[in-house]
């Protein structure tokens, strides 16, 4: 992820930790395009300062109105204010949507039941979308004492919204905002219609939302390019490519207004304006200390199994990697197969108990490329084993390290039929020291992949929400900078990026 360079930092010598991308400031800097462009490519600060000084000198000679910007009383006030405002460049405006786009869906939770394997979605709405709390007595010492919930993955959009309501840099003045959050419960909404054949009905509420957004003054500022929304369902559910009833999903993300916006989802599609964020796990701490306690607990767990696979077999899918992995697991005394066809896998206590007892956790693609289990297993300190780049490496770029070997094992399966790798042998071949280093990295990553309780705020740790907001703000700032530099923001914005789902040398 390219982080926009801090041009003001170089000019004024302000502490680097102060975020600098503020709308007003950026507007002030707009006239100094040259400065912005050079500072973006500057890596050697002495060199940069030399260039900047010469620009300042040069522009003063030419009576460039750059100095007027700095010296006009209004702008001086802006600069003084931004130095102390830690929200500079991070202000977010939340759209106040009609309740049919969010809260009504929660109140009518019985209508959401269809199509999910849950008999009733209503209990999961409790605790701001975290679901029912898991009591200490039920957790059989698998968990730490508090902050564990039976969280449903589809509620991520609700959890995210509730976190956003407590975000420290909200503004009601949309002209100050660097980004506009659209709290549409896209996944819950579409879950009512995904299994209907009538395409008009499948597409209608998304269309309705976009028409509402487009009429708002906030739309016109950047044609929606600073707008983003969140889905607890995979992005493919909104990417129907043909108006044919046999195709899956709605075409929400192919509608013109939607193409100007960004969407965060538990799994991104192969279009560039879809971004991935971790599935919610069951752990929603309120304080830093709870994370430290949990990390300490799992760091020293005894792990009797070398590897585990948790999931259901799919006998109907022939030649699936999943089937081969289950066979291998069943054959190995070092592997624990937790069969979701038999055991209760929607009970976090059962699942986490297995992950806490294993060194490696196999994560083959299932119905889609990603699985919630990636994050549950990492939360338990189990090192993930991936078989496809689309399962994690090309997805969670804001949350997981770029260097995959630091925290995971990769056994690419390009052709299931020709695949004959002995997983146990591969895992046994990894030196003990490497295994420990990977596990330590996984444990270190825990704050990145969890969603803190929206009722409170972590102090030192940044959680998955914080990283997603940071990533989104940086991306929107890039687009804004392109526009400032006279480039057409639509170029490359919503293009297809096949590379996300192909076996690439980047991950070899």
| CA–CA separation, 163 and 159 (whole Å) | 6
Judged by CB under 6 A, the residue of 39, 260, 391, 448 near ligand NAG is 260
For Cα atoms 280, 284, 286, give the angle at the middle one, nearest 5 degrees: 150
Say if residues 213 and 127 touch (Cβ distance below 8 Å).
Answer: no
Of 419, 436, 405, nearest to 328 by C-alpha is 419
Candidates 16-24, 165-173, 427-435, 451-459; binding stretch for ligand NAG (CB under 6 A): 165-173
- Residue 314, number of CB atoms within 10 A of its CB: 14
Q: By CB under 6 A, tell whether 313 contacts ligand NAG.
A: no
Q: How many residues bind ligand NAG (CB under 6 A)?
A: 19
Judged by CB under 6 A, the residue of 15, 84, 172, 508 near ligand NAG is 172
Candidates 17-25, 43-51, 125-133, 256-264; binding stretch for ligand NAG (CB under 6 A): 256-264
The CB-of-172 to ligand NAG minimum distance in angstroms stands at 4
Q: By CB under 6 A, tell whether 191 contacts ligand NAG.
A: no
Distances (CA, A) of 79 to 48, 99, 302, 477: 21, 39, 55, 19
Residue 334: Cβ-neighbour burial (10 angstroms; 0-12, 13-18, 19+): middle
Residue 349 or 437 having the CB closest to ligand NAG? 349
Strand partners, 351: none
The CB-of-58 to ligand NAG minimum distance in angstroms stands at 33
Q: What residue spans of 254-340 are helical by DSSP H?
A: 256-259, 288-299, 321-331
Candidates 167-175, 397-405, 407-415, 458-466; binding stretch for ligand NAG (CB under 6 A): 167-175
Residue 7 or 240 having the CB closest to ligand NAG? 240
Q: By CB under 6 A, tell whether 198 contacts ligand NAG.
A: yes
The CB-of-331 to ligand NAG minimum distance in angstroms stands at 4
Q: By CB under 6 A, tell whether 327 contacts ligand NAG.
A: yes
The CB-of-162 to ligand NAG minimum distance in angstroms stands at 15
Candidates 28-36, 69-77, 193-201, 309-317; binding stretch for ligand NAG (CB under 6 A): 193-201
| CA–CA separation, 156 and 187 (whole Å) | 9
Buried b (16+ CB within 10 A) or exposed e, 205-229: bbbebbebbeeeebbebbbbbbbbb
Q: By CB under 6 A, tell whether 201 contacts ligand NAG.
A: yes
Element (H, E) at 28: helix 23-29
Q: Residue 417, Cα to own-chain centre: how many angstroms?
A: 33
Positions that interact with ligand NAG (CB under 6 A) = 145, 170-172, 198, 200-201, 223-224, 244, 246, 256-257, 260, 327-328, 331, 489-490
């Amino acid at each position: 992820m390219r982080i926009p360079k801090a041009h003001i930092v170089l000019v004024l010598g302000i502490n680097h930790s102060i975020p600098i991308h503020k709308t007003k400031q950026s507007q002030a800097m707009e006239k100094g395009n040259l400065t912005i462009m050079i500072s973006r490519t500057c890596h050697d600060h002495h060199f940069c300062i030399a260039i900047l000084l010469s620009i300042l000198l040069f522009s003063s000679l030419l009576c460039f109105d750059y100095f007027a910007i700095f010296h006009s009383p209004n702008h001086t006030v802006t600069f003084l204010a931004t130095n102390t405002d830690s929200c500079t460049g991070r202000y977010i405006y939340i759209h106040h949507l009609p309740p049919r786009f969010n809260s009504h869906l929660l109140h009518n939770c019985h209508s959401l039941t269809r199509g999910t394997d849950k008999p009733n979605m209503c209990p999961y709405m409790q605790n701001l979308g975290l679901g029912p709390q898991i009591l200490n007595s039920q957790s059989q010492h698998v968990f730490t004492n508090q902050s564990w919930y039976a969280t449903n993955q589809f509620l991520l959009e609700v959890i995210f919204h509730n976190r956003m309501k407590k975000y420290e840099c909200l503004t009601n003045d949309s002209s100050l905002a660097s980004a506009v959050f659209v709290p549409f419960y896209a996944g819950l909404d579409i879950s009512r219609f995904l299994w209907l054949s009538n395409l008009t009905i499948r597409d209608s509420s998304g269309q309705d939302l976009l028409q509402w957004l487009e009429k708002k003054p906030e739309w016109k500022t950047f044609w929606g390019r600073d707008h983003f929304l969140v889905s607890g369902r995979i992005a493919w559910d909104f990417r129907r490519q043909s108006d044919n009833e046999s195709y899956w999903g709605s075409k929400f993300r192919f509608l013109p207004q939607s193409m100007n916006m960004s969407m965060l989802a538990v799994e991104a599609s192969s279009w560039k304006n879809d971004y991935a964020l971790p599935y919610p796990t069951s752990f929603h701490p309120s304080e830093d200390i709870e994370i430290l306690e949990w990390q300490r607990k799992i760091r020293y767990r005894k792990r009797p199994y070398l590897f585990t696979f948790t999931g259901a077999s799919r006998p109907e899918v022939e030649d699936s990697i999943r089937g081969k992995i289950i066979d291998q697991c069943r054959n190995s005394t070092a592997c624990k197969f937790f069969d979701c066809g038999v055991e209760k896998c929607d009970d976090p206590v059962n699942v986490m108990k297995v992950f806490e007892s294993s060194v490696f956790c196999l994560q083959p693609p299932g119905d889609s490329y990603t699985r919630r289990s990636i994050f549950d297993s990492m939360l338990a300190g189990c090192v993930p084993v991936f078989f496809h780049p689309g399962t994690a490496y090309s997805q969670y770029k804001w949350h997981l390290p770029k260097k995959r070997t630091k925290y995971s094992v990769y056994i690419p399966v390009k052709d299931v039929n020709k695949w004959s790798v002995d997983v146990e042998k591969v895992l046994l071949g990894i030196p003990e020291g490497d295994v420990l280093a990977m596990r330590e990295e996984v444990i270190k990553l825990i704050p990145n992949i969890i969603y803190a309780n929206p009722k409170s705020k972590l102090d030192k740790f940044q959680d998955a929400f914080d990283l997603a907001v940071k990533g989104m703000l940086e991306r929107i700032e890039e687009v804004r900078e392109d526009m400032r530099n006279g480039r057409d923001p639509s170029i490359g914005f919503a293009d297809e990026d096949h590379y996300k789902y192909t076996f690439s040398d980047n991950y070899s």
